[in-house]
Every structure is written in C-alpha cells, then in structure tokens.
Structure 1
Amino acid sequence: MKKNCFFYNYKNKKYSITPNGVITSKSHSNIALIKYWGKHNNKIQIPLNSSISYSLGKVYTVTRLIYQEKKKSNLSIRVFFSGKEKTSFIPKILEFFHRISFYCSYIRDFNFIIETYNTFPHSSGIASSASSMSALALCIMKIEKKLVYSLKEDFFLKKASFLARLGSGSACRSIYPGLVVWGCHKAIKGSNNLYAIPYPYEVHSIFTKIEDTILIVDDEPKKILSSKGHKLMNNHPYAKDRFKCANQNMNRLISILKIGDFQEFGELIEHEALTLHAMIMTSRPYFLWMKPNTLNVIHTVWDFRKQSNKNIYFTLDAGANIHLLYPIQEKTSILKWIYSDLFSYCKKIIESFCLYNYLCLLFWWT
C-alpha cells in the first residue's frame, strides 16, 4: 500500500453529513509481547523494530466525539476526561489533528468536544495512549465513513490504524483484536511501518485463551512519559543490539506460537520486558520506572512458578505495573494465589484477558 493512498481530496465535495453530530467509539488497550522501543529520527512515529501485542478485554477507552461546523477560522477543541475538563490534554490532540489533517482534510471544517474515560488508570504504563488515540482515530474514521459510503471495512481499519499511529505508535495495534503486528519484519507477510496488521500465521489453541491479570503497583501518572523514553534510544549505546535482539525474538515467537510451547513463550516475554527496562535504565539520562513492589512481585512469581510448575509469566510495558499471563485452564488456582500472595504489593488488581476471537472484529469499532 502506497504511503499516500490514505489521502482523499474533499475539496469542492458536498458533505453528506449534518453540520453537527456525535460519534462514539471504544478501543482496547494492548500489551506488547515483543516491545517497540525507539523511533526513526525526523519521521513521524516510525518504529525502529517490529512489535506484536495482544489486545485486552475489560481494559479500554470509550470516546464520545461531538463535532460542530466551524463559524470561525480558528479550531476549537475541548476535552473532558471522566467528566472533568482537561486543558492539559489539548496540546497532544492538536498535534494529532495537525498530523492527520492532510489525510482527513474534512476535520478542518469542524470544532470538537471530546468526552472520554478509561476503565483503568491513565499514563501509568497500561497503554492508555494506545486505547485513547485509537478510539479517537476510530471516531474520525466514522466521520469519513459518512462522507464516503463506499468505504470498505478493510480500508477503514487500515486507515484507522494509520491515523492512530500518528497519535501514539502503539495505538495502531489497538485497532484490531487478537495478536497484532506493527513494524516491518521480513518473516511476517504484510507487516509494515505505517499501520498494524492482524498476525497472519498459525496460532496454537493454547494462545487463543490467555488470561491477563494486571497488578496496579502504582496508579500515579509516570514522571517520565514514554515519548521522552523513545527519544533516548537515538543515542543509546546498546540500541543497535536491542533492535537486532527484538527481530530475533520475533522470529522465535513465530515458531513458539505455532507449536504451542507456553514455557518458551513465557520466558521470551519476560526477557523482552526486562530488556525494555534495561534499555530505560541505561539511557542517558537514565531513569527507573519499576517500583520496589514491582520487583517484589517479580521475585514472588518466580518462586511460585518454580515451586508449583504453574504456567504464569509476567510482562511490563513502560511503567511499574505488571501483567501476569497464564492459560485459562489454570485460571482458578492461579487467580486464587494472586489474591492471597500478591494483593499486598499492589493498589488494585484488574482481571482481564487477551482478546483473540476474530469474530468480534465485526463489532470491534461499532
């Protein structure tokens, strides 16, 4: 797909939508198995390595976009998060609208009120920017669908992913349920840097029903946002080795997903999580997102796994909070252990799961 194929010339076109309207979209957060960390210089949200994630149930953003025909030339945006106006969110959204205006020129003719809420803490390392920016991108595409009735579902989703990427890199993966790939990888057909795609290869049944229990160790917004962390990869002394390692791990994961080896899967995602945080800790300036209780949870999980032979493994995104992944067949005993042995280390537990059923794609963005 060519880079400019998402551009549509609306100049002198007669709108087929009312001058005022309301659109609502829901988008789920995702948890990366192979982590994306680092962007190309002088390019907008282009990753330096491919990544793959699961979209998550029960962890999502709902966005209500109110559009009103502009009477003046200046763009007006108001943002409400969980019922409270958030002027601090406006600069990022304005930047997003500026980036997508070439591909969605119709947005220049409207003012917007954005009402949004999460089912989880924002800016705490659970990909709130992924779910929020993808939900907003889906709302924008629903406006475009009103303008172009002939828009096909495949194009709708690809362009939504393309737009979401311009707001938050990992947001492009939240457009789809299931395993989703973003970033060009020579072993994955159709993978590219401009938008995400559903994972196209065989997946063993054990990986179609995975539980994800999220431990909220710290529910405060991160002091250092991911966007700043990505920039520190530009001069990182270990960056090249990290990108090479990520691509090799993707090759390993393709094989693991096919054969159904959960132990290999778990060890790989833990290695990826710790590698991500190793890069964060060795940046210049260096910093640390893990909290003492993050480490307490990790060590307790390791001890429990060794003693019980249970298939429970952790991963982390860019934050202190922990995702525990395990097969649904072991849910009863593992969940009981989590509440008895790990609850004291965290402020909240979110019982979630990895969305895999592609039938829900039909209703994913409605």
Structure 2
Amino acid sequence: MVTEQHFVPQPYTGSAQNGSFSWSAPSNIALVKYWGKKANQIPANPSISFTLSDCKTITTLGFSQKESNGAFSFNLLFEGQPKESFRPKIEKFFERVAVYLPFLKDYHFTIDTRNTFPHSSGIASSASGMAAMAVNLMSLERLLNPDMTDDYFYQKASFLARLGSGSACRSVKGSTVIWGTHEGTPGSTDLFGIPFTDVHEVFTTYQDTILLVDKGEKQVSSTLGHDLMHGHPYAERRFAQAHENLTAIKQSLATGDLDSFIKITESEALTLHAMMMTSQPYFILMKPNTLEIINKIWQYRAETAVPVCFTLDAGANVHILYPENVADKVLQFIKKELVGYCQNNQYICDKIGVGASSI
C-alpha cells in the first residue's frame, strides 16, 4: 500500500539552475460527488469524475536558483497581471508540500497562469489550477531526479495537487478518474486519483456543455461547504451512499448502460445540493434558472428519449452530459430552450479529455 512516505524523495542526483515549464491541466466534473473531508485533504467518501478537455488552466512556471533558501519566493501573475489575492493559497500549498518537494526554498519562481473559462463560476478552477501547478513542479523535480518514472511522476503530481485542492487530483491523468478508497476498486486510495479504464466506448467521447447560469463568485466557498459536513445530520448515510453509487456507476460505465448512468448522475447532483440545504448553517447555491433548466431537461428527455442528463458542481451552473452521437439534437435543444436561462446567453461546449499536457 502506498503511503505519504512514498512521496518523500531520496537525495537528488541531478541539478537545475534556471528554466521554465508550461503545462495545461483541465477541470473535471464529478459524477459521484466528494463532499466532506478529513485532515490533510483526505476525502470523507470516494468520488469519480470525467476529465474535461477545453476548460483548463495554462500555467508557466519559471525558476531560478537562489543564493539563500530561507523562505518561499515567488511572483504570481494571473492572465498577465499581478494577482496578490492568490498569494496566500500558493503559500499554503507550498507549506503543505514542502516535505515532499524539499527544493522549493532553493528557487525563486515566477508563476504565470490563466484559465480558458470564467474564474470562480462553479467550474472547478482550483482543480485545474492546482493540477497545472503540481505537474510543473514535478517537471522541475524530474530534473533533480532524472531516474523518475512516468508512473511516479503522475502519481505524485496527483498526490501534490490534492494537497492544494482535493478534486485537483482527478485532473492530472486519465479520462475517468476515481479518488478515494473504495472496496470494489483495486488500487484506489485517499492519497491520489487513479484512472478508471473499464469504460464502454459510448463514454469515451461524451460531451459536456456547461450552461453559465451565474458567473459570479459563490456566496459560500467549497472549503466552507466541506467543513459543514462535520456533524451534519445526514453525513454518515451520505458517505455510505457515495460508496454504493460508485459501485453502481462503475458498472454503468463499463456496460454502456445510459439509463442507470443518468439516474445515478442526476441523483448525485441533487444529493450534493441537498447536503448544502440541510447543513448548519444551511445555504443554497442553485439559482431559479438552475431549476428551470433541470425541468426543461427532464421534459425534453421524456418527450424525445434522447439520453441527455445534467449534473451540478458546487455552484449554479449546469453541466449537460450526453453521447457524441446525439450532439446535434442536444445542441439544437440547448440553443432553442436553455440559452435564455444563461447569464448573457453564455455556455461552453466541452468534452471528455485525458488530463494534463505539457506545452
């Protein structure tokens, strides 16, 4: 069994003075949701997600060796402009991972990052951002440890990304990714995400159109929402349900059973928001237009038998999931019936991706 100690490196045999790397890393959308966590970014229940393709963070990491190594040193640019408000999150991330990346205080870093989608809009920008950061740092560690294998590179990158943002570990590698210890999944662990590859071909080209109902900042952060699962009256049953639904959706994904996939996916989305509405304090992240869209999807599916469904993240936006072979019909439905419920008529067409990519 892999433990945290596995990611503490031996003395480095390589060296690097200065240079830069650029990576993109995508967001992901959970099918079975992770909501609630323990210390050190350990999930209270396992989850499974589709990795997206076009909604991603692109990060360039420049590094130059310092003469003294007393503290973390970095400049941070977001979309080309200094972004001091991001500094505390990067500082905290560096503090968490320093034992696993002992070179961090040896370099000054320039972090230049941008998203291909609106920040803080219910699309998981923290997931893509921390995944991109993790693979960049692993690229530097690979210079210091030239014997590093690809398997170790991606496993440790997922492990590090998790310490920045839990769901980020599902954005590093793989099209469908499981995170969290699950009895029916060999190799599953709370420490990093693992690709789930027993997937029917219908899901390998699945589409995700994201309806931007509300592009503003969420009233309640995901971090606070996770914390409210401590002492939640329905928490234990919810965690058990997640295990059960992960077992069931793996079967749906393997066999191409769209009916069961739809039932589990939509139920999980509504359960996530039910947990928010029944916590103390309670809160609602859905908007009226979120509910209008859900009802329109249900009506359209009942009338046409087109296997389209929705899921939600911790926000108001709606992810519409559907097979590639019905894309024309679904996009026509979206343009005719749903666009009016989006802020400024905006939506994003995305699809299943494969994870982080070096640029």
Superposition TM-score tier, normalisation by shorter sequence: over 0.9
Counterpart amino acid of residue 31 in structure 1: I
SS in 2 for 1:103: coil
Residues of 1 paired with 2:249 and 2:9: CA distance? 37
User: What's the TM-score, normalizing by structure 2?
Assistant: 0.96
Superposition map of 1:213-232 within 5 A: 213-232=209-228
Residues of 1 paired with 2:309 and 2:282: CA distance? 27
Residues of 2 paired with 1:46 and 1:117: CA distance? 27
Counterpart amino acid of residue 269 in structure 2: A
Partner of 1:179: 176
The yes-or-no answer on 1:136 pairing with 2:101 is no
Match of 1:248 among 223, 228, 244: 244
Residues of 2 paired with 1:64 and 1:27: CA distance? 11
Residues of 1 paired with 2:291 and 2:223: CA distance? 24
Partner of 1:17: 16
Match of 1:346 among 342, 345, 358: 342
Partner of 2:357: 364
Residues of 1 paired with 2:62 and 2:43: CA distance? 32
Conservation of the 8 A alpha-carbon contact between 1:49 and 1:247:
yes
Match of 2:235 among 218, 235, 239: 239
Conservation of the 8 A alpha-carbon contact between 2:134 and 2:161:
yes
Q: CA deviation at 1:112?
A: 1.6
- Give ranges in structure 1 of 5+ residues lacking alignment: none
SS in 2 for 1:89: helix
Q: Deviations over 1:87-125 (max 9, x none)?
A: 110001100001110000011111222110001111221
Residues of 2 paired with 1:309 and 1:328: CA distance? 15
SS in 1 for 2:135: helix
Conservation of the 8 A alpha-carbon contact between 1:123 and 1:225:
no
- Give ranges in structure 2 of 5+ residues lacking alignment: none
Conservation of the 8 A alpha-carbon contact between 1:294 and 1:320:
yes
Conservation of the 8 A alpha-carbon contact between 2:33 and 2:268:
yes
Q: CA deviation at 1:14?
A: 6.4
Residues of 1 paired with 2:353 and 2:269: CA distance? 20
Q: Deviations over 1:133-159 (max 9, x none)?
A: 000000000000111111100000000
The yes-or-no answer on 1:293 pairing with 2:289 is yes
Q: CA deviation at 1:25?
A: 0.9
When the two chains are superposed, the root-mean-square deviation of aligned CA atoms in Å is: 1.4
Partner of 2:273: 277
Q: Deviations over 1:296-344 (max 9, x none)?
A: 1111111111111111100001011110000100001111110111111
Q: CA deviation at 1:281?
A: 0.8
Residues of 2 paired with 1:66 and 1:32: CA distance? 32
Q: CA deviation at 1:79?
A: 1.4
Residues of 2 paired with 1:22 and 1:111: CA distance? 11
Q: CA deviation at 1:68?
A: 2.3
- May I ask how many residue pairs the two structures share in their alignment? 355
Residues of 2 paired with 1:168 and 1:288: CA distance? 22
Superposition map of 1:119-134 within 5 A: 119-134=116-131
Q: CA deviation at 1:15?
A: 4.9
